[in-house]
A and B are shown apart, each in its own frame.
Chain A
Amino acid sequence: MSVAEKSGSTGAGAVAARPPGQRFDRKTIVHAVGIAIFFLLLFFVLPGITSNYWLQICTQVVVYSVVALGLAILVGRVGMVSLGQIALLAIGGWVALRIGFATGLPFPILMLAAGLVTGILGVIVGLPALRLSGLYLALITLMAAAAISIVLQQTNFPNGGGGFLGYDITGSGTAALRRPSIAMETTSFFRYTLIVGGLMFLLAWLHVRGKPGRAWAAIRQSQPAALAGGVNITLYKLWAFALAAFMTGVMGCLLAASGGGLTILQFPTQESISLLAAVFIGGVYGFAGAIVAGVFIKLVPALLDNWDLPPDLLLILFGVGVMQVLLTAPQGLAVQFPKDMMKLAKLIARPFTKGRKTAGEVAR
């Protein structure tokens, strides 16, 4: 059983229905072109029309979109709820800073290392709870998140000091990770983040479209049936956990390099809950939902701040949204909104179409 129980089937089964010989159907091609245009617009046009401040916020939106994507895969594809993704993001940042200050390794290696360590940690957190029900997994991830934030509060983030913790108490407090040499400026760093984020989306897409995606779909429908069908449940659940944690860890590395260093205040426990709410509101099944969630988590608060509105309104909206999604619209805003708009359009169009019909009847 899962959060997704109210929904129908998702795209995983549709792959087989394609006629032989045709590699991609038309819908897929239209989608791919749409995504490519969206990506190119972000890559080339966005840096030209926004200031550095908003570009930094957009960098964060990319980071949190990928984190949200990891959570959306867990919730939507496998039916597991994790309330500790933000803590994993902090872990990724910590590892990247620690290795970054200790060595001169190139940035991509740092990202990989942060991702791998975070992935392993994600598996360790998830392992005991996987044998219990999904409720226990949610609770244990919430506890792990709180525990991680307590530890990080004591150890702080590395700022170039010595020892295992790498925190120099006499130093300037926080220090940013050095950026890759090709992305020193805000603009180029945004593009760099965008490319890495795009690669993460691609990685997730390949997983969902491939064998793991089919295994996850089977597990979500029914664990006993998946087991009978020969799916290795523990392996694929852990795989999903590790994938989400890996993506989150890589993004932690980028986050560590994006601003002036990290503090634990950037990773409050309630943000993991807000993230879950945002992912629900955005929609857990599609990839667009993750981007909507990233926008909600990072861009909307900045906009509210800009318009002198209290950012707390967003929390209230999240609360109402998560309940609304759970009760009525399990597919989230990314799917529900276009549907509602279509309905509205039909409703508006109805008097006109009706009128036309009567006119036709009169003519006959």
Chain B
Amino acid sequence: MPDLKPFIVLGLALGGVFALSGVGLVVLYRATGVINLAYGAVGAFGALISWELINNARWNEWLAFLVCILFGGVVTLVYGYIFGPMLAPRDPLVKATATLGLLLVLLGLSSWIWGDDARSIVLPTTSEGFSIGEVNVNYTQIIALALCLVVTAGTAVFLRVTKLGTAMRSLANDREITAMLGVPVRRVEAAAWLGSGLLSGATGLLLSNLVGLDMVGLTFLVIAALAAALIGQLRSLWVTLAAGLAIGIVQACATPFESIGGYRSMTPFVFAIAALLWFARKQPALVRV
């Protein structure tokens, strides 16, 4: 039995980012009914921009990181502000499919501008850290874990307590009735898009440090976040958080085992498919009587 402690630290950091993305997806879905499949692509594109700013334009690192996060917010907001209302009356499936359009545009643009080489961004917090026992922990990993806890708790409180949060929850129930009650629907939706987008920028930045800056890879890490969100039934923030962390830990702890190590990236799918089977069991099926 190999020593798993270092892998648990890795897993908590990775799982924290999965959970963070998952929360970003759930918040947007609850307010607007959109599963943003371009979530990972937006974050990765932002990270590529900040890579470009740091390495070629010689910008200050922190300024470049800020640009990445803002890019996520702005692009998501613009997409949501333009296409959200047009697609609002359509089926959730159509709304999710439309975000694939954004995903393809970003993938095409990035591969046109930057090619397919793998890059990496090292946050200044990575070089510093401390040890617990024999395990080294760096501050980026701490940030990933802390951010996901803070964001989940903050979002849960925000949705419950503030006026805007209440408006978002009512939007999730019924868009038209909410509009009738005098809630500025478009403004509330825009807030949800912006918040989710800022989170996508932050996750893109963290992932390009923890995993590596590869556009296609990061784009499809959204699937892991999606798995966490699905386990939370696209509703519960806390279940999403727990699922994200669990996926991260299991995935990282599979690394030292030779027989399953190569298959460790399948962890999110195994979790999500098991969860879906479980939900389908409870679902009243449409069958012939």
Which residues of A come within 8 Å of B, CB atoms? 1-3, 5, 81, 128-129, 131-136, 138-140, 142-144, 146-147, 150-151, 153-154, 223-224, 227, 230, 232-234, 268-270, 273-274, 276-277, 280, 310, 312-323, 326-327
Contacts and interface: CB of A to CB of B under 8 A. Distances in A.
Contacts of A3: 91, 93-94, 97
Interface in B76-135: 83, 86-87, 90-94, 96-98, 100-109, 111-112
A322 B112 contact: no
Say whether chain B's binding surface is mostly helix, strand, loop, or mixed. helix
Contact of A139 (B105, B226, B263, B266): B226
Nearest to B261: A154
Contacts of B227: 143
A345 to B, nearest CB: 29
Given A144-B269, A234-B285, A269-B220, A138 B103 contact: no
Looking at A1, A314, A320, A326, the one whose CB has the most chain B CB atoms below 10 A away is: A326
Interface of B: 35, 37, 83, 86-87, 90-94, 96-98, 100-109, 111-112, 216, 219-220, 223, 226-227, 230, 262-263, 265-266, 268-270, 272-273, 276-277, 279-280, 283, 285-288
Contact of B108 (A138, A144, A318): A318
Contacts of A327: 83, 86-87, 98
A313 B108 contact: yes
Contacts of A310: 112
Contacts of B220: 146, 269-270
Nearest to A323: B101
A263 to B, nearest CB: 16
B84 to A, nearest CB: 12
B263 A150 contact: yes
B283 A131 contact: yes
B109 A312 contact: yes
Given A128-B276, A151-B266, A310-B112, A133 B100 contact: no
Instruction: Give the top 4 A-B pairs by smallest Cβ distance, nearest first.
Output: A315-B108, A319-B104, A319-B105, A323-B101
A150 B265 contact: yes
B280 A139 contact: no
A154 to B, nearest CB: 4
A138 B105 contact: no
Nearest to B271: A143
B269 A147 contact: yes
Nearest to B227: A143
A133 B104 contact: no
Nearest to B226: A139
Given A270-B219, A319-B102, A326 B87 contact: yes
Looking at A142, A151, A314, the one whose CB has the most chain B CB atoms below 10 A away is: A142
Contacts of A321: 101
Nearest to A144: B269
Contacts of A154: 262-263
Looking at A81, A132, A323, A327, the one whose CB has the most chain B CB atoms below 10 A away is: A323
Given A3-B94, A224-B286, A316-B105, 6 more contacts: A143-B226, A234-B287, A270-B220, A312-B108, A312-B112, A314-B108
Contact of B276 (A1, A129, A233, A270): A129
A240 to B, nearest CB: 15
B104 A318 contact: yes
Nearest to B216: A270
A1 B107 contact: no
Nearest to B86: A327
